[in-house]
Amino acid sequence: MKYILMMNTMKASAGAFGSWPKEDIQAHIAFMMGFNKQLTASGELVSAEGLAFPDQAKLVRAGKDGAPVTDGVFPEAKEFLAGYWIVDVESPERAYQIAAQASAAPGKSGVPLNMPIEVRQVMSGPPKEFT
Amino acid sequence: MTTSGFDLRELAPQVIGVVLRRFRDFAAAEDAVQEALVAAAMQWPREALPENPRAWLIQVASRRMVDYQRSESARRRRENAAARERDLVVPAASVENESGQDDTLILLFMSCHPALAPASAIALTLRAVGGLTTAEIASAFLVPEATMAQRISRAKKTIKASGLPFRLPAGKQRAERLSLVLHVLYLIFNEGYTSSAGPNLRRSDLSAEAIRLTRAVHHLLPDHTEVAGLLALLLLTDARRAARTGPGGELIPLPKQDRTLWDQGEISEGLALLTATLPKGPVGPYQLQAAIAAVHDEAARTEDTDWPQILALYDLLNQMSDNPMVKLNHAVAAGMVHGPATGLNLLDALAADGRLADNHRLDAVRAHLLELAGNHPAAISHYQCAARRTASLPERNYLMTQAARLKT
Q: What is the pLDDT of residues A10-21, one digit of tens each?
A: 776 666 777 889
Of B83, B105, B108, B87, give the one whose Cα is nearest residue B96. B105
DSSP B72-111: HHHHHHHHT-HHHHHHHSPPPPPSS--SHHHHHHHHHHHH
Query: Is B327 or A58 the better-scoring residue by pLDDT?
Result: B327
Q: What is the pLDDT of residues B49-84, one digit of tens each?
A: 888 888 999 999 999 999 888 888 787 777 654 444
Is A126's CB within 8 Å of B194's CB?
yes
Whether A72 shows a pLDDT value over 70: the answer reads yes
Is A131's CB within 8 Å of B391's CB?
no
Count of other CB atoms within 10 angstroms of residue B306: 14
In our burial notation (b when 16+ CB lie closer than 10 A, e otherwise), range B122-161 reads bbbbbbbbbbbbbebbbbbbbbbeebbbbbbbbbbebbbe
Confidence band of B91 (pLDDT split at 50, 70, 90): very low
Among chain A residues, CA nearest to B120: A43
What are the chain B neighbours of A90 within 8 Å (beta carbons)?
117-119
Integer Cα distance of B381 and B311 in angstroms: 27
Whether B346 shows a pLDDT value over 50: the answer reads yes
Q: Is A86 on the interface with B (CB under 8 A)?
A: no
Cis peptide bond upstream of B282, omega within 30: yes
pLDDT score for B162: 87
In our burial notation (b when 16+ CB lie closer than 10 A, e otherwise), range A87-109 reads bbbeeeeebeebbeebeebebbe
> Minimal Cα–Cα distance from B55 to chain A, Å?
33
Helix, strand, coil % over all residues of chain B, rounded to 5: 75, 0, 25
Query: Is B346 or B171 the better-scoring residue by pLDDT?
Result: B346
Q: What is the pLDDT of residues B113-148, one digit of tens each?
A: 999 999 999 999 999 999 888 988 898 888 899 999
Interface test with A, best of B134, B142, B244 (most A CBs within 10 A): B142
Which pTM does this prediction carry? Answer: 0.83
Whether B382 shows a pLDDT value over 50: the answer reads yes
Instruction: Report ipTM for this prediction.
Output: 0.79
Of B119, B95, B133, B120, give the one whose Cα is nearest residue B12. B133
